[in-house]
Amino acid sequence: MGLTSQKLQILVAVLAVLCFAATVWLWPRLSGRNWRAMLARIGTLLASQLLTLLAIALAANNWGAFYSSWADLLGTDQSGPVAINGGAVRPSGTGGTGSTDGTGSGGASVDVTDSKPVALQLPGTSDGGGTVEQVTIHGSGTGLTEPGFVYLPPQYNEPAYARTSFPVIVVFTGYPGNAQSLVTRMKYPTVAAQAIHENEMKPTILVLMRPSVAMPRDTECQDVPGGPQAETFFTKDLHQAIASHYRAETSANAWGVIGDSTGGYCALKLTMRHPESFHVAASLSGYYKSAEDSTTGDLFGGSQRLRQENDLMWRLKHLPHPPVSLLVASSLKGEPDYAATMAFAAAATSPTESSTLILPEGGHNFGTWNRETPSALRWMSARLAAPFTPVAGSDS
């Protein structure tokens, strides 16, 4: 039986109840003081508790769609993603508005607390894969501060690129999430470094962080009336902070955003609502309407209009489609958002470019997202402006 089989869940639950009943029934007979009786008591207790925990785990997995199969759970599913469907690459411009002297405006800033090299992990090469810096990003307009990591491609520190500004991809965790997992578990810097080395991705700066900016509250990347201004932080403050410290392109066609789960919703939402800030978005197992629960509180100040504007399907039905490129990823088996994902992709029409990345199976977990990330990053890079080097003697 499959991991998500209803029959398996019922069978294990029945076995747990029967084992508990058998333990109660047999307990008087196992009251002896010899070693056989002691082992029998230990065995019945362990069996009862393990079956109960397994029944709870199966129910939780089916509720949350974390793992879609035994191979998914054990990490033995090595099948790659199917091809990305839909959307031809449109010219995204050449940029040219980046800060090439490492200075920016607006008082936003980045504090670097640590720096480590990225290993390529490719056989037959000793080349470096760039650098990961641990940072704290300070927003000038919102006053918000958020920790994270910044990946710099190897070209960033090469003399030939000393005056070059680079495109930027913001990478979001889910909620609650930890930015460290984007480096250690999802290995975004390593995946990007290998794609850049193989000329399948432009040299790109990655900014890796949580989407909340007000932990433990889940802001859903929303400017909360009377609360944290997360949307403004990501669409304005973050751009200013990164440009103030790094040679990053500042034009929208050089900025993209990708995320999983809550981060995927934020990626789509920020790009659809702010095409002046982001040109490309990729959502891995994301959803299409803002969550509202005990972790979010009142995100919209009681405004139904504001709630609707943050419902992505409502936007596609009632508002002009923005000229951006969107990638949505899901699984045929194992993820409950498949139907919603296909409906969103079908509804997102020109001038919005809509593409899909659909796995044969995969749950709501790191294993699934790790399989989707390489294709998603390459898709995004093809739609972002290339690194820009001003002509010698020019003022730009």
At 224-248, the pLDDT tens digits run 999 999 999 999 999 999 999 999 9
Same-domain status, 95 and 20: no
Look at residue 22 in the predicted model and tell me its pLDDT.
Answer: 83
161, part of any domain: yes
Edge-first strand listing for the sheet containing 255-260: 109-119, 128-138, 145-152, 205-209, 168-172, 255-260, 280-284, 325-333, 353-361
User: How many whole angstroms separate alpha carbon 53 and alpha carbon 61?
Assistant: 12
Same domain? For 219 and 299 the reply is yes
CB 228 within 8 A of CB 219: yes
Q: Based on the fold, state whether residues 135 and 226 are members of the same structural domain.
A: yes
Omega before 351 within 30 of 0, i.e. cis: yes
Distance (Å, whole) CA 194 – CA 381:
13
Is residue 255 in some structural domain?
yes
**pLDDT of 177 above 80:** yes
Ramachandran quadrant class, 95 (left: phi over 0; alpha: psi -120 to 50; beta: rest): left
Distance CA 206, CA 197 (A): 15
* Residue 367 and residue 226 share a domain: yes
One domain, residues 250 and 366: yes
* In-domain check, residue 389: no
Question: Would you say residue 75 has pLDDT above 70?
Answer: no
238 and 348 share one domain: yes
CATH of the domain at 274: 3.40.50.1820
pTM across the whole model: 0.79
pLDDT of residue 34: 82
User: Residue 135: helix, strand or coil by DSSP?
Assistant: strand
* Residue 234: Cβ within 10 Å count: 29
Of 85-89, 104-108, 253-257, the poorest mean pLDDT is in 104-108
What's the pLDDT band for 385 if we cut at 50, 70, 90? very high
Asked whether residue 238 is assigned to any structural domain, the reply reads yes
| Domain end residue (candidates: 64, 90, 109) | 64
Q: Tell me, what's the pLDDT at 319?
A: 97
49 and 88: one domain? no
| Domain tally, the chain | 2
Encoded amino acid at 285, one letter: S
Average pLDDT along the chain: 87
**Pick from 21, 40, 64: which residue ends a domain?**
64
Least confident of 101-105, 124-128, 272-276: 101-105
Shared domain check, 21 and 144: no
Kindly tell me the sign of the dihedral angle through the C-alpha atoms of 172, 174, 176, 178.
negative
pLDDT of residue 103: 41
Query: Which structural domain range is residue 332 located in?
Result: 73-383
| Predicted local confidence at residue 68, as pLDDT | 47
Q: Which of 323, 292, 110 is nearest to 217 (CA)?
A: 292
- Express each pLDDT in 323-377 by its tens digit: 999 999 999 988 889 999 999 999 999 999 999 999 998 888 888 999 999 999 9
pLDDT band with cut points at 50, 70 and 90 for residue 174: very high
Do 125 and 187 lie in one domain? The reply is: yes
Q: Quick one: which of 376, 373, 393 has its CA closest to 384?
A: 376
